[in-house]
Structure 1
Amino acid sequence: MTDNAGKNWGRLIKYHRKQQGLRQDDVALGICTPSYLSRIENGVVIAEQNVYEMLLARLGIDLENEVVNLELKHSFLEEMYAKLLSNETLTQNEIARLESYQTEAFQQEIELLAGLVYSRYLSSLDSLIEARELLMKIEPFITWHQDRVTQMYIGITTYVHISFLEFEEIILREEQQHVSNYMNTTSRFEQANYLYHLAFAHHRYYSFQQALYYINLATEAFTHHYKPLFQLKLYSLKGVILNDLHRFKEALLEFKAGLDLLRNVSALQTPRQRSSLYNNLAYCYECQGLFKEAMSYYEQANSFEEDLHIVINLMRATYQQDDQETLLKLFTNYPRERFKVLHHQYQRDILKYASDREYALNKLKELEELVFPYFSEQEYYSLTLYYAPLWAEFYEEIHAYKRATICFKHAFIASEKVRQRMSS
């Protein structure tokens, strides 16, 4: 019997003893001393299997049947977790069974695993607050050993941090606790998932070299697996990272590998996957100053699934291409009230004002003081680096050089933030 199994049986004995209102003296009589039972229940000692059998039998529990039931539950929970990691949809029967395992008692490892898998299921539904509340209840029971509960806890909390856009929390936990070491005995796919999320967090934090390091590790861990959706995610994220490192040819190779995968795997040919990949391709061309090509890919991305983020990107590329006719159509088709995300609204305001080409000091200053502090607060450094110099040019056109200097300072501060994170 393993130490974990012994501790689980000890917790089970304690749970059922208390449920039945029995004292330790009552249960231990003729089997062991009450003090020894106390140590068994608290996992301080690991007894012989026959001791657990006798103690559980006194509580009316057959250990052999309990082992079989726990193995079935464990197998089911692992199967559900694997499906959730692969973005597969659970059936109604599976959801009902998973819900039936939920308890707040957490007397056994299996109850912790059930809670963890359910929290991952909740997060897949975007019920993030409920998922986090459940994880907070489980957290005190995490032992931080290389056990299954700890491993699932790491993977699931990382996913929830990503969902809440808490990228720095993921990065700091890995740097300070090296939690990836706990994942060494998980499946290669599970390791790849965690490394992918580390890469994603570093990319969104502008530490691009670290992001590239982790996406390469994720790709290596994933080798020889056939999970096309995850493979597509690896191609896409690596391409995005390489693009931000200005390694455009390599980025295009990753995106084109993703296109080949899309063409050959019908299950991937969804509007969401197509629009995402074409949006990434378009941005790669935009970053190279190839605005006509960027417009073409943004338009293709927008045709698959209307995504207002893609629309803003298309507006920006169209403005840079100086295609006033197309830009006017976009402003007409997408009025400001259609955009719900604040930075989308601000970008549309900036691009609309810029395209009108009637610059006035008061209006320029009003937008500047509204938009750039928000970009800074939200750490949208790439937006500041594009729009602040543009705004400085407009100030210079009306000879407002002091205001132009302030805009260049916005860009300088943003570039320093990015530089510091890239070199960290």
Structure 2
Amino acid sequence: MTDNEEKNWGRLIKYHRQQQGLRQDDVALGICTPSYLSRIENGVVVAEQTVYEMLLERLGIDLENEVANLELKHSTLETMYVKLLSNETLTQNELARLESYQTKVFQQEVDLLAGLVYSRYLSSIDALTEARELLMKIEPFITWHQDRVTQIYIATTTNLHLSFLEFEEIILREEQQHVSNYMNTANRFEQANYLYHLAFAHHRYYSFQQALYYINRAAEAFSHHYKPLFQLKLYSMKGVILNDLHRFQEALLEFEAGLDLLRNVSAIQTPRQWSSLYNNLAYCYECQGLFKEAMSYYERANSFEEDLHIVINWMRATYQQGDEETLNKLFTHYPRERFNVLHHQYQRDLLKYASDRDNTLNKLKDIEELVFPYFSEQEYYSLTLYYAPLWAAFYEELHAYKRASICFKHAFIASEKVRQRMSSQKRRQGES
């Protein structure tokens, strides 16, 4: 046994002694002093294995059976964790076993692992508040060593931060604590997963160069593995990052590699994967001003899995192409009440007002004062950078130059926010 495992036996002895209502004097008699037993129970010392065996025997616990049961639990939890990490669904039997492992008292490492794996499961079914509450109970027991509990805690909390859109929390923790160092002894797929999540967080935080750095590290860590779905995520994420760096041809190469993989691996050919990849391709063409091609890919993306985010993108590209007939069909087929995400509703409003071209000053002002502060509050800088200049142009047509200047100011502030984030990342890289 390792020192860490033997410290777990100390906690196990304490738990069973208390459950049986025994004093330390009763259990220690003839084996060791009560004070030494106290130090064993609290993990202050690591005793000889025979001492643990005698103490456990006095409590009616067979050490050999305990070791076998713990090894089985560890193995089962690792299997479940790998499935969850790979976006696979647990069977009913696996879920029942995982739930049976849950405890309110974290006596051993395996109890913490069971809680962490269950938290990851809760995240996978969008029970995010429950997942966070469980992680908060586990947090005081994290030792911050290169052990499995610490590694899975890092991965699970990172995944949860992403679910809550807490990108800055992930970035700051890595910068301040360098938690990726704790992952060095994890398997390379787990390392790649964490680096992928760092890349994702940096991308959503508009620090694109740093995002590219981490996605390249993730791809390097993942090399020689065969997990097609994760490989597809790497291609897509790198393509998205390159696109936002305006390296469009390189981005298209990543998306084409993803399409090639998707065409040849039937196991990952789900509507969601096709839809996501075609949406990324469409946005890449839209960013290049190739709106007809963008419309075509948005339509294909939506045909695989109707997604109202894709519909909004499709409307925007159609407006830019000037295809009024298609745009009106989309407005008719997708009325405002079909959208339940606020920024989708606002974008539809903006595009509908823009396409009608019968806007009065009051209409323009009403939507401007409603939408642009919300975009700023939610840090949707790319949306502000597209729609604010458009609104400014409408004001200028009505000779409302003061209102137009306010819209240009919205765009300038958004541009500065993005610039500051990108330059702060460069500065931090230089300091490191």
Note whether the superposition's TM-score is higher than 0.5: yes
Structure 2 residue aligned with 1:383: 383
Give the Å deviation of 1:89: 1.0
Alignment of 1:18-417 (within 5 A): 18-417=18-417
1:76-134 per-residue CA deviation (whole Å, 9 max, x = no partner) reads 00010001001111111111011110001000000000010011011111111111111
Give the Å deviation of 1:421: 1.0
CA distance in 1, matches of 2:417, 2:367: 23
How many percent of aligned residue pairs carry the same amino acid? 88
Give the Å deviation of 1:6: 1.3
Give the Å deviation of 1:269: 1.2
Report the 3-state secondary structure (helix = DSSP H, G, I; strand = E; otherwise coil) of the residue aligned with 1:30: coil
1:270-325 per-residue CA deviation (whole Å, 9 max, x = no partner) reads 11000000000000000000000000000000110100000000000000000000
Report the 3-state secondary structure (helix = DSSP H, G, I; strand = E; otherwise coil) of the residue aligned with 1:104: coil
Give the Å deviation of 1:359: 2.5
Report the 3-state secondary structure (helix = DSSP H, G, I; strand = E; otherwise coil) of the residue aligned with 2:259: helix
CA distance in 1, matches of 2:268, 2:397: 49
1:117-164 per-residue CA deviation (whole Å, 9 max, x = no partner) reads 011011111111111111111111111111110110000000001011
Q: TM-score, normalised by structure 1?
A: 1.00
1:187-225 per-residue CA deviation (whole Å, 9 max, x = no partner) reads 000000000000000000000011000000000000000
CA distance in 1, matches of 2:338, 2:65: 59
- Matching residue's letter, 2:220: E
CA distance in 1, matches of 2:267, 2:63: 45
Question: Unaligned stretches of 5+ in structure 1?
Answer: none
CA distance in 2, matches of 1:310, 1:241: 18
CA distance in 2, matches of 1:66, 1:303: 55
1:343-380 per-residue CA deviation (whole Å, 9 max, x = no partner) reads 00000000000000112111101000000000000000
CA distance in 2, matches of 1:115, 1:104: 9
- Matching residue's letter, 1:336: R
Report the 3-state secondary structure (helix = DSSP H, G, I; strand = E; otherwise coil) of the residue aligned with 1:87: coil
Q: Count residues with an aligned counterpart.
A: 424
- Matching residue's letter, 1:404: A
Structure 2 residue aligned with 1:12: 12
CA distance in 2, matches of 1:328, 1:263: 34
Report the 3-state secondary structure (helix = DSSP H, G, I; strand = E; otherwise coil) of the residue aligned with 1:173: helix
CA distance in 1, matches of 2:340, 2:43: 53
Q: Are the equivalent residues in 2 in contact too, given 1:53–1:63 (CA < 8 A)?
A: yes
- Matching residue's letter, 2:344: H
How large is the RMSD of aligned CA atoms in angstroms? Answer: 0.5
CA distance in 2, matches of 1:17, 1:124: 37
CA distance in 1, matches of 2:356, 2:87: 45
Q: Are the equivalent residues in 2 in contact too, given 1:359–1:398 (CA < 8 A)?
A: no
- Matching residue's letter, 1:167: F
CA distance in 1, matches of 2:195, 2:277: 21
CA distance in 2, matches of 1:328, 1:180: 50
Structure 1 residue aligned with 2:429: none
Q: Are the equivalent residues in 2 in contact too, given 1:295–1:314 (CA < 8 A)?
A: yes
CA distance in 1, matches of 2:146, 2:21: 35
Question: Unaligned stretches of 5+ in structure 2?
Answer: 426-432
4+ residue segments displaced more than 2 Å: none
Give the Å deviation of 1:2: 1.6
Q: Are the equivalent residues in 2 in contact too, given 1:263–1:269 (CA < 8 A)?
A: yes
Q: Are the equivalent residues in 2 in contact too, given 1:193–1:218 (CA < 8 A)?
A: yes
1:28-77 per-residue CA deviation (whole Å, 9 max, x = no partner) reads 00000000000000000000000000000000001111111100110000
CA distance in 2, matches of 1:389, 1:30: 84
